[in-house]
Structure 1
Amino acid sequence: MRRPYVLLSCAMSVDGYIDDTTPERLLLSNAPDFDRVDQVRADSDAILIGATTMRRDNPRLLVNSETRRAQRAAQGLPPYPLKVTVTNSGDLDPDLKFWHHGGEKIVYCPDPVVPKLRESLRDLATIVGLGPTTDLARMLDDLGQRGIQRLMVEGGGTIHTQFLTQGLADEIHLAIAPIFVGDAGAPRFVNPGDFPGGTGHRMTLAEARTVDDVVLLRYLPKQASGSTTS
């Protein structure tokens, strides 16, 4: 059994923010980049967001292109990837859009939270306990057992930080928008943490290209700069 390949996907401002503090979601990407992200979703077996992002942004988290959904179906795949979230508290409103669009959903949480979620969500999602804490490595093992080979992680900052500090991310897609947010209270791509190798580890830059006025950087965090990529 192999764990899925983990790809972190994030759009951020030049100064490292993924949103501002206004009630409306800050759209950092442009139309071509949103379409690129839709392709990455279509190429994934599962998409994960954290509970905080669910509550803040209330996303549907779908493959929006009908053509891409049809291509998935032609390959014998469900039209939409599995949707995954992780929560410590279990405070997830059953009215969130996440539950009512797309295909199957899984919620991972600590064992003590399982009964609460099963009562509140009922048949909206499969609830899986991860032991006393939200153990992301154990979650990846479970997803691998379910046949998930490629997991796309769309945030937020806490989730990205956990995957990176625990050495669980295989690839990072950073879309850099040509704006500044400048709000100290706004969420960032990652939070402070103990990252493997610290400042002595330079990741491999696998790709850098423009998508209209956005720059896409694709990093391989487990590979040191200068190593050979496959």
Structure 2
Amino acid sequence: MIRPHVLLSVAVSLDGYIDDRDEQRFPLSNAEDFDHVDQARAESDAILVGAATIRRDNPRLLVRHADRRAARVVAGRPEHPLKVTVTGSGDLDRTRAFWQDGDRLVYTAEHGHGRAVAAVGDLADVVSLGPSVDFGALLDDLGARGVDRLMVEGGGTVHTAFLSAGLADEVRVAVAPMLIGQVTAPRFVNPAEFPGGPARRFHLEDVTKLGDVAVLRYFPKR
């Protein structure tokens, strides 16, 4: 079975944070980078975020540019990529924007399956991955569904899970020219045991300047 190509996409401050501590989402990126992300979404078959990101950021995860949506339809693809979320507990809020527009898929563990079905079973396909959320099994299931390219947009717990399991093929990091400096603010990744440890160096594929944001593309598996 062929697993999807996994692209992790994140915007960070110079000191490695993805947000501040306020309830409202902190704007790290700029218009040029948002458009760049929109192109990456348009090239993807599915976009994944964790349930905590849905609760905190209320993302729609849609392709914004009309020409890109039209190109997908012409190519015989859905207007928007499949929207995917992960929750071990099944704690999902059906009022969030994620559940509007497009097709939706939920991965959970056995103990959270009933709760997830009760919350959003009429809005999405809900799949149990077993006793715990197994991200390898998640990729196997997506591959079986015909997903060739998966874009992962966070948050930190999900990014950490993919990287610590060695499942990321590509990492896109948009570095914003600012410092957040709040110890309890969320970061790109959490402490974990990563394959190869600190001695392992990713392959830097390219660097793109988008206004005042630098976008770095790394290929971990090269």
Distance 2:61 2:35 in 1: 13
Counterpart residue number, 2:220 = 221
What is the deviation of 1:172?
0.2
Q: Which amino acid aligns with 2:140?
A: D
TM-score in terms of structure 1 length? 0.95
SS in 2 for 1:123: coil
Deviations for 1:51-107, whole angstroms, at most 9, x for unmatched residues? 11111101111101111000000000000000000001111111111001x311000
Cα deviations by residue, 1:87-132 (Å, 9 ceiling, x for unpaired): 01111111111001x3110000002221221122131000000000
Counterpart mapping for 1:101-120 below 5 A: 102-120=101-119
Gaps of 5+ in 1: 224-230
* Alignment partner, residue 159 of structure 1: 158
- Which secondary structure state, in structure 2, belongs to the residue aligned with residue 61 of structure 1? coil
Q: What is the match of residue 9 of structure 1? A: 9
Q: CA RMSD in A?
A: 0.7
The one-letter code matched in structure 1 to 2:139 is: L
Name the counterpart of 1:34: 34
1:228 equivalent in structure 2: none
Hey, which bits of structure 1, 4+ residues long, moved more than 2 A? none
Match of 1:142 in 2: 141
Do structure 1's residue 64 and structure 2's residue 64 form an aligned pair? yes
Contact 2:84 2:105 in 1 (8 A): yes
Q: Does 1:208 align with 2:213?
A: no
1:182 corresponds to 2:189: no
TM-score, with normalisation over the residues of structure 2?
A: 0.99
Distance in 2 (alpha carbons) for counterparts of 1:112 and 1:134: 10
- Unaligned regions of 5+ residues in structure 2, if any? none
CA contact (8 A) 2:89 2:111 kept: no
